[in-house]
Structure 1
Amino acid sequence: MIQGFKWVYAHAAKWRYLLIASSVLYGLAAIAGAVVGSNEPLQNTEGDIPHDPFYYLTHNSRSILLFLSGLLTFGMTSIFALFANGFMIGFSVAGRNQDTPLWATLMHIIPHGIFEIPAMLLAGAVGLYPLQLLVRYARNQRPLKIGWMSIVLSIVWIGALLIAAAFVEALISPAIIDWVT
């Protein structure tokens, strides 16, 4: 492990179980969406693709707020957001795959998804945090102290990932989409 990134590993270890839960829920929802979407061809709704990173940053930030609102709803809105987003991704990939090769469909998602999906999963994990506290309390386990600094650091990471995703989605993804279509 690189010494300079030791704190990143320690931070990720604190969120390990919540990240796993977030990823599993997202993945299962994507599979469910793919099963449903495999029977429903999608209509091509592509119009002009915005080339403004601020547009994508604003749009994705609003979505991430739904994931993070789980901090106030004991994870319920995070569960909904993880399931809904995962389902839509699976549905879209399966639906587009009926008339478009899988690799071309994935090239619409992967470039910016490399940053955007981890941001969603981390935001989902942060939103599930109060649920973890509630479960630990119900099991009479030693109470977790609320790690506000860890939550803030995670939100900073989410912001950095969203900024990267916005620039890739605005400036790189359109070129890749033009190339594969």
Structure 2
Amino acid sequence: MNDRPSLPARLFHRWLLRYVPVAALILLGSVLLGYGLGNQVPAEWLQNPGTTGENPFMPAELTTLSLTINNLGALLVMALGAISLGSMTVLSLILNGLLIGVVVGIALKQVSPIVVAALIVPHGLIEIPALLIVAAVGLRFGWHTIQYIRGSVDTLVTEQDLQEAGWLLVTAAVLIVIAAYIEANLTLEIASQYTDTDLSGVAADRIAIAPR
């Protein structure tokens, strides 16, 4: 009889249970800080010169493909925590949190909270978990590398680690594609049901994972 835990159980207990909460706390703290800053930043600061409502952190045209490429690139940077003792992962979480908080703070000056939620939640419910999954991979590899350097573990990385990390990264990539489709094709339509305001220039309709 094989008593080895199933793949989902191993992924949860070895990767997600400990490192997702850490990543979530870093992200949440950064969002709150960014929100405080966003209340002090003019909405025009999130626009490129000569454009209307274009966030300089985002592709000029919001399509499923452009958002997918943008966000996968950002997640790749976050995954580099695996070879940077987790520092790239932490920095990416902080930058993403600050950006989200700033944009939300600015958007709340433009439209009601329910509209801001409608612009963020539909794709954010899928995009943020993808971000946290990749962050967990970067943080776990980073921490394990520190333990290896200190002599607390004998092996830097195992075949099982690589296989499980691969499953998590593929899962995150699939979630990113789904979130990109929702953001590009459904977000504005959903949010428009709650207001008569033209949302094309609202800061919150440009929220996504920040690029590298």
Q: TM class by shorter-chain length? A: 0.7 to 0.9
- Whose Rg is larger? 2
Q: How does 1:153-164 map to 2 (within 5 A)?
A: 153-164=167-178
1:106 pairs, out of 106, 117, 122, with: 117
Identify, as 1 or 2, the structure richer in helix.
Answer: 1
Native 8 Å contact 2:83 2:142 kept in 1: no
Q: Which moved more, 1:169-178 or 1:151-160?
A: 169-178
- CA offsets 1:36-59 (integer angstroms, 9 cap, x no match): 112223237436x84631121111
Q: Which residue of 2 aligns with 1:57?
A: 68
Q: Does 1:71 align with 2:82?
A: yes
1:129 Cα deviation from its structure 2 partner = 2.0
Q: Does 1:14 align with 2:14?
A: yes
Look up the equivalent residue of 2:192 and give its one-letter code. D
The CA distance in 2 between the partners of 1:84 and 1:51, in whole Å, is 21
Q: Does 1:165 align with 2:166?
A: no
Q: How does 1:1-181 map to 2 (within 5 A)?
A: 7-15=7-15, 16-43=17-44, 45-46=52-53, 50=61, 52-137=63-148, 141-143=152-154, 146=158, 147-180=161-194, 181=197
Give the alignment's Cα RMSD to 1 decimal. 2.2
1:8 Cα deviation from its structure 2 partner = 2.7
Q: Which moved more, 1:51-60 or 1:18-27?
A: 51-60
Instruction: Give the alignment's TM-score, normalised by structure 1.
Output: 0.85
1:19 Cα deviation from its structure 2 partner = 0.9
Change (3 A) 1:62 1:143: same
Instruction: Give the alignment's TM-score, normalised by structure 2.
Output: 0.73
1:138 Cα deviation from its structure 2 partner = 6.0
The CA distance in 2 between the partners of 1:62 and 1:162, in whole Å, is 11
Where does structure 2 lack aligned partners over 5 or more consecutive residues?
A: 1-5, 55-59, 198-212
The CA distance in 2 between the partners of 1:17 and 1:101, in whole Å, is 36
Aligned residues: 175
The CA distance in 2 between the partners of 1:141 and 1:40, in whole Å, is 46
- CA offsets 1:118-145 (integer angstroms, 9 cap, x no match): 1111111111123211343466544565
Where does structure 1 lack aligned partners over 5 or more consecutive residues?
A: 1-5
The CA distance in 1 between the partners of 2:164 and 2:7, in whole Å, is 11
Q: Which moved more, 1:62-71 or 1:129-138?
A: 129-138
Change (3 A) 1:175 1:18: same
Of all paired residues, the percent bearing the same amino acid is: 22
Change (3 A) 1:153 1:70: same
The CA distance in 1 between the partners of 2:11 and 2:87, in whole Å, is 24
